[in-house]
Amino acid sequence: MSIPSALYGVKSVVGSKLFAKIPVPEAIPGIHEQIFIVTGANGGLGFESSLHLSRLGVGKLIMGVRTVAKGEDAKKRILDITNQPSSAIEVWPLDMDSYDSVKAFASRAFTELPRLDGVLANAGVMTTKWDLSEGHEKTLNVNVISTFLLYLLLLPKMRESGKATGQISRFVIPNSALYNMAPLAELDPDKDSSIIERLDDEKTANMSGRYPLSKLLVLFAVRELAKRSSATGKGDSIINTPNPSFCKSNLAQESADSRAYKLFEKALARSTEEGSRVLVHGLLAGLETNGQYLSNCQVETPRCQVTDKWGQRVQQRFVEELLGVLNQIQSDIALNI
């Protein structure tokens, strides 16, 4: 990681904590009829985002959770605060470690939901430990492959909903300023081996930088898929990737016991509630956010490793590989673009 990258990361966290004022989400027209999905909804940013949506009075909120009992407990806590009817929230099982679970969740959404106005794909992992998930390194699989599997499975439903209701549907994936600190060696577009094969190689994997790298890959895929989906003429939809900044949450469990981490968190971390405002903003934002990285509720141009010629080559090559993997998981899913 270069010194400029490190300085950018520090500047982003400090600036967000000390100088940015994040507005509390406000209802948009028709929200009382709209249906939203939040994954990883029983804790952290997912819970706080779900609480905001319930407070705004959404027509229905689907809480996607790995453990239904924990989801039901989170639902009860939200309803106790917002006084919404129990029917306004449903808890559905979703394990982003399992392609079958992602497919079943998306199929249920197609069958049972009369419309789909937004998806906050919040579920993710942050670890430096090597582990496999569906044959791929776990962070890569959960944060990237399974997340875009869910996106492409739901995209036709999102477009169909937008055409029927006149309300454009949005798919939101949380990001992080850490994308700027991602190690880039594994992404070399000039090597013969595929990027995904390199990332799945336990012997050479740089796991200390894998979470930041997963966020860089999300940014590449959001930018590329937004461009491709807009060009198909199949109907408008929005995909964006907002950065809630450094927040107090249980995501960084491996670092939580570190004294240095605790001091850093105390000094500079946002509350989880404040960070969730940024995600809900992305979930209610307009077409100008399609394909964009958002910071402090504003569109922000990504750094040069995303936008320069090298970054564009990596972006196109990685997304082609990603679509190849997704086509193996679900036949011809790339046609949904």
**Active-site annotation holds for 266:** no
Determine the pLDDT at residue 248: 74
Whether residue 22 is contained in a domain is answered as no
| Mean pLDDT for the stretch of residues 132-143 | 98
Determine the pLDDT at residue 16: 57
- Quick one: which of 161, 131, 136 has its CA closest to 146? 136
Give the ranges where the chain is alpha helix by DSSP (H): 3-18, 44-56, 68-82, 99-112, 138-140, 146-165, 195-199, 210-231, 259-268, 272-284, 304-307, 309-329
Q: Is pLDDT above 60 for 3? A: no
Whether residue 323 is contained in a domain is answered as yes
| Confidence (pTM) | 0.92
Residue 36's identity, in one-letter code, is: F
Count other C-beta atoms under 10 Å from residue 211's C-beta.
Answer: 22
Whether residue 252 is contained in a domain is answered as no
Determine the pLDDT at residue 262: 60
| Mean pLDDT for the stretch of residues 318-333 | 98
| Mean pLDDT for the stretch of residues 23-33 | 95
Dihedral sign of CA atoms 211, 212, 215, 216 in order: negative
Q: Which of the four pLDDT bands, split at 50, 70 and 90, describes residue 62?
A: very high
Dihedral sign of CA atoms 171, 176, 179, 180 in order: positive
pLDDT tens-place string over residues 176-211: 999 999 999 999 999 999 999 999 999 999 999 999
- Quick one: which of 306, 248, 246, 250 has its CA closest to 126? 250
pLDDT tens-place string over residues 68-115: 999 999 999 999 999 999 999 999 999 999 999 999 999 999 999 999
d(CA 90, CA 103) in angstroms, rounded, equals 18
**Structural domain boundaries, residue 126:** 3-12+30-245+274-328
Whether residue 150 is contained in a domain is answered as yes
CATH number of the domain where residue 100 is located: 3.40.50.720
Domain count, the chain: 1
- Quick one: which of 98, 140, 112, 145 has its CA closest to 37? 112
Determine the pLDDT at residue 319: 98
Tell me which of 60, 157, 215, 293 is the catalytic residue: 215
pLDDT tens-place string over residues 269-315: 789 999 999 999 999 999 999 999 999 999 999 999 999 999 999 99
pLDDT tens-place string over residues 203-234: 999 999 999 999 999 999 999 999 999 999 99
Whether residue 19 is contained in a domain is answered as no
Within 8 A by CB and 6+ apart from 320, the residues are none
Q: Are 268 and 13 within 8 A, CB to CB?
A: yes
DSSP codes joined into one string, 265-327: HHHHPBPHHHHHHHHHHHHH--GGGTT-EEETTEEEPPPHHHHSHHHHHHHHHHHHHHHHHHH
Q: Is pLDDT above 80 for 259? A: no
Whether residue 299 is contained in a domain is answered as yes
Residue 213's identity, in one-letter code, is: L
Tell me which of 151, 179, 211, 293 is the catalytic residue: 211
pLDDT tens-place string over residues 5-22: 555 655 565 555 556 789
Q: Is pLDDT above 90 for 34? A: yes
Whether residue 315 is contained in a domain is answered as yes
Whether residue 251 is contained in a domain is answered as no
**Active-site annotation holds for 211:** yes
Token digits of residue 52: 């905001």
Q: How many residues does the chain have?
A: 337
Distance, first Cα to last Cα, the chain:
34
